[in-house]
Amino acid sequence: MLHAMSSPAGATLSLPIEGMTCASCVQRVEKALARVPGVRSAAVNLATETAAVELAQPVASGALAEAVRHAGYAVPQETVTFAVHGMTCASCVARVERALQQVPGVIAVEANLASEQARVVRWRGQAATPDLLAALRRAGYDGHDAAAATAAMLERHPQRLSEGARVALAAALSAPLLLPMLAGGFGWPWRSRPRGSWRSPRRCSSGLARASIAQAGARCAPAAATWTCWWRSAPARRSRSAWC
């Protein structure tokens, strides 16, 4: 669960604003922020698309963003995940969350002891990653950007084979098992036998041919066996059609 933060009294926040196009937009945003309880003043800059908000008392960051959205504009946010090392108990989790919440621009923080990660929701362009990591180190913990570490690992160890290459490799490895079975269906010799054991094709008896077909059908898949039987019976069909 994300824990939303409240900015302390006397602090000045810088909010990114999206959607402003003219001076009327600036006035509309300033009025919306000034109506939030605890806000002393609000100054919006159209060129930089930011709003400088001075607080008279602690104000939740979500309240400021909600006021801007209610006025018809957006406060862009982004989420970053950090791998945190050194957390051992619930007190460590609370300490990490407090340290990250103190960085200006942080909206909410969630630390997870089981995964050793901390998820930070921040305003876009605020609460830079080096500042958040520095806050972790001051609290006594070490951390790094989980997404950046994953990208670096993928660059060091790229995927060796694409999906098409994997399919081709699987077909090449299965070919030695499939080809002998298909060769047996055509009556071709594929097993090594003693010299002189193979008889001439012209001298093969019909019984031997039928035995070869039956043995191939037992080894091959049903579809291959059906095709073999049809192919072997083709001369007989042609001879019958010739007499008709």
Tell me the average pLDDT of the chain: 75
Is it the case that residue 201 has pLDDT exceeding 80? no
Q: How far apart are CA 113 and CA 89, in angstroms?
A: 7
Q: How far apart are CA 66 and CA 74, in angstroms?
A: 9
Alpha-carbon torsion 140, 141, 144, 146, what sign?
negative
Token representation of residue 16: 């990114």
Under a CB-based contact definition with an 8 Å cutoff, are residues 14 and 124 in contact?
no
pTM greater than the 0.85 cutoff: no
Same fold, 3-70 and 77-155: yes
More confident site: 238 or 135: 135
- For the chain, which residues make up each domain, given as ranges? 3-70, 77-155, 172-186+204-244
- pLDDT-based confidence at residue 124 (cuts at 50, 70, 90): confident
Q: Tell me: the pLDDT tens digits for 91-106? A: 999 999 999 988 888 8
Domain 3-70 has CATH 3.40.640.10: no
| Structure letter (DSSP) for residue 43 | E
pLDDT band of residue 160 (cuts 50, 70, 90) is low
Reported confidence tier of residue 32, pLDDT bands at 50, 70, 90: very high
Please give the class, per CATH, of domain 77-155: alpha beta
Confidence band of 187 (pLDDT split at 50, 70, 90): low
Whether 206 has a pLDDT exceeding 70, the answer reads: no
Q: What mean pLDDT comes out for the span 49-77?
A: 88
pLDDT band per the 50, 70, 90 thresholds, residue 204:
very low
148 has pLDDT over 70: no
